[in-house]
Structure 1
Amino acid sequence: MDLRAMDFGVSDELLGTFVPVLVYWVYSGMYALLGGFENYRLHSKEDEETKNLVSKGTVVKGVLLQQAVQAVVATILFAVTGNDNDAAMVQQSSIIVLLRQFVVAMLVLDTWQYFMHRYMHQNKFLYRHIHSQHHKLVVPYAFGALYNHPLEGLILDTIGGALSFLLSGMSPRASIFFFSFATIKTVDDHCGLWLPGNLFHIFFRNNSAYHDIHHQLYGNKYNFSQPFFVTWDRILGTYMPYSLEKRAGGGLEARPSKDCKDD
């Protein structure tokens, strides 16, 4: 795979800034269309309408604000690292190099988000005034994945993404693919559905059911890991395994496993 041979017709920096935004709305839009499949929902449609503490219009506005901030930061980041990116592009001609950079970026993003996310739960001031905004979505849905307080969006997602980009050494062209993938994974984790054949559910323990546990009151101090692996939760004792059970009235429900012991 030679990324240098690809000609998209516009700058890699522009694509790296806006393609993940487009991917977010297209992919979450697909899940919005699938939301009527009650048998695959982790919460009922009625619960989504009654338990969430914020309107969908407000969620859309909040996500658009965060994406605008991300676009500004990405533009600045690409401008500052412009000279280094030319050299990085030359080095990224092999699939092995790209895979290594993707793995590094995934580990960096997971590590940053775990510790920042967990601290926002442990610090009462930060939780009350910042992170609680995201938890107004007691019943998560796809296009609410990036609904956060603007400061949280800047700290967790924007800075975390910038660190992943810088420390992995990827080029703007490689970042198009990485951040699009990360966006899809984040949306999938919040989709509130358990669809058969979903590859994310097969290859990642950190998935829509795992993260749904975190959004419930009993899981508020567990399952901080996002968006890829559950490594830090396992290492630091905040891992709450789940089981899927039939929900009364149809559908599924993610519940803590019966062998899960509270701290």
Structure 2
Amino acid sequence: MENFMSDELLGTFAPILVYWVYSGIYVLLSPFENYRLHPKKDEHVKNLVSKRTVVRGVLLQQALQAAVAVILFSVTSNGGEATNLQPSLLVKARQFLVAMFVLDTWQYFMHRYMHHNKFLYRHIHSQHHRLVVPYAFGALYNHPLEGLLLDTIGGALSFLLSGMSPRASIFFFSFATIKTVDDHCGLWLPGNLFHMLFNNNSAYHDIHHQLYGGKYNFSQPFFVTWDKILGTHMPYSLEKRTGGGFEARPAKDKI
């Protein structure tokens, strides 16, 4: 029980805490128009859902995720045996890469299918796209069924297929959470490591949230590999916007 409290429960609840702390930092930065991908006022003008509703929706999804995580860790627990044995850094790195690939693959195909299936889009996935102008703490604002299919099951598969330990999952799911929040932050900050290391970033995902981008840029949260392989990658340019900030503009031949 002690190990369950230290590793499994941390793996369950640390990503939730990270989500609100990291998105809270972006809330403090959001008034800085010179770094925004959309004017601040557009959050109120273009979005189709209130921030109060978004917070309630995210909390509901996190509650469901936590319940599934507790069940998953309980089922896969080794009963406390050999819990002090941790794999080498090389093995952990391999597990992280496998988990990233599994999560990316699952989310790409599920996400794309939810756009192409008119019923699923209208009744489920369109809830997330009520945020035409994304912001950080709206990253996990989804229909509960989508949260279960896309995020929770995807996370469970990445954990199981990578073979990582509950302790390693604390870091992986916290990292995946930070990356997801960053992709929805609506900001283009100088020196952002995610923008340097990943082509899948806040500008890339912002393209997808616009009306012209609904058939492109399905990849999330890490790489753009599947978009490029399957022809759903939309190139874009990042340009200065009159009045301050930036604008991600798609390639003209894709509109």
> How far, CA to CA, are the matches of 2:4 and 2:225 in structure 1?
39
> How far, CA to CA, are the matches of 1:16 and 1:83 in structure 2?
16
Q: How big is each residue's C-alpha offset from its partner over 1:156-183, in whole Å with a ceiling of 9 and x where there is no partner? A: 0000000000000001100000000000
> How far, CA to CA, are the matches of 2:81 and 2:32 in structure 1?
47
Equivalent residue for 2:175? 181
Cα distance change on mapping 1:206 and 1:84 into 2, 3 Å: farther
Equivalent residue for 2:129? 135
Q: How big is each residue's C-alpha offset from its partner over 1:22-50, in whole Å with a ceiling of 9 and x where there is no partner? A: 00000000000000110000000111111
Cα distance change on mapping 1:178 and 1:89 into 2, 3 Å: farther
Kindly tell me the number of residue pairs found equivalent between the two proteins.
254
Q: Mark the runs of 5 or more structure 1 residues left unpaired by the alignment.
A: 1-6
What is the TM-score when the length of structure 1 is the normalising length? 0.93
Equivalent residue for 1:108? 102
Q: Which 10-residue stretch deviates more, 92-101 or 194-203?
A: 92-101
> How far, CA to CA, are the matches of 1:47 and 1:247 in structure 2?
14
Mapping for residues 55-94 of structure 1, pairs under 5 Å: 55-83=50-78, 86=81, 90=85, 92-94=86-88
Q: 1:25 aligns with which of 20, 33, 38?
A: 20
> How far, CA to CA, are the matches of 2:83 and 2:104 in structure 1?
23
Q: Give the share of equivalent positions with the same residue, in percent.
A: 81
Equivalent residue for 2:254? 262
> How far, CA to CA, are the matches of 2:81 and 2:109 in structure 1?
32
1:88/1:171 contact within 8 Å kept: no
Cα distance change on mapping 1:143 and 1:38 into 2, 3 Å: same
1:144/1:190 contact within 8 Å kept: yes
Q: How big is each residue's C-alpha offset from its partner over 1:195-214, in whole Å with a ceiling of 9 and x where there is no partner? A: 00000000000000000000
* Aligned amino acid, residue 144 of structure 2: P
Equivalent residue for 1:98? 92
> How far, CA to CA, are the matches of 2:41 and 2:106 in structure 1?
35
SS of residue paired to 1:243: strand
> How far, CA to CA, are the matches of 2:238 and 2:89 in structure 1?
37
Q: How big is each residue's C-alpha offset from its partner over 1:124-170, in whole Å with a ceiling of 9 and x where there is no partner? A: 00000000000000000000000000000000000000000000000
SS of residue paired to 1:45: coil
Query: What's the offset of the Cα at 1:93?
Result: 3.0
> How far, CA to CA, are the matches of 1:89 and 1:223 in structure 2?
41
Cα distance change on mapping 1:85 and 1:250 into 2, 3 Å: farther
* Aligned amino acid, residue 200 of structure 1: F
> How far, CA to CA, are the matches of 1:84 and 1:181 in structure 2?
27
1:120/1:127 contact within 8 Å kept: yes
Q: How big is each residue's C-alpha offset from its partner over 1:54-80, in whole Å with a ceiling of 9 and x where there is no partner? A: 000000000000000000000000000
2:3/2:80 contact within 8 Å kept: no
2:3/2:83 contact within 8 Å kept: no
SS of residue paired to 1:54: coil
Q: Mark the runs of 5 or more structure 2 residues left unpaired by the alignment.
A: none
What is the TM-score when the length of structure 2 is the normalising length? 0.96
Q: How big is each residue's C-alpha offset from its partner over 1:87-130, in whole Å with a ceiling of 9 and x where there is no partner? A: 6863x331101000000000000000000000000000000000
> How far, CA to CA, are the matches of 1:98 and 1:37 in structure 2?
38
Query: What's the offset of the Cα at 1:262?
Result: 2.9
Mapping for residues 177-216 of structure 1, pairs under 5 Å: 177-216=171-210
Q: Does 1:222 align with 2:219?
A: no
1:85/1:171 contact within 8 Å kept: no
Query: What's the offset of the Cα at 1:257?
Result: 3.0
Equivalent residue for 1:3? none
Equivalent residue for 2:118? 124
> How far, CA to CA, are the matches of 1:34 and 1:234 in structure 2?
32
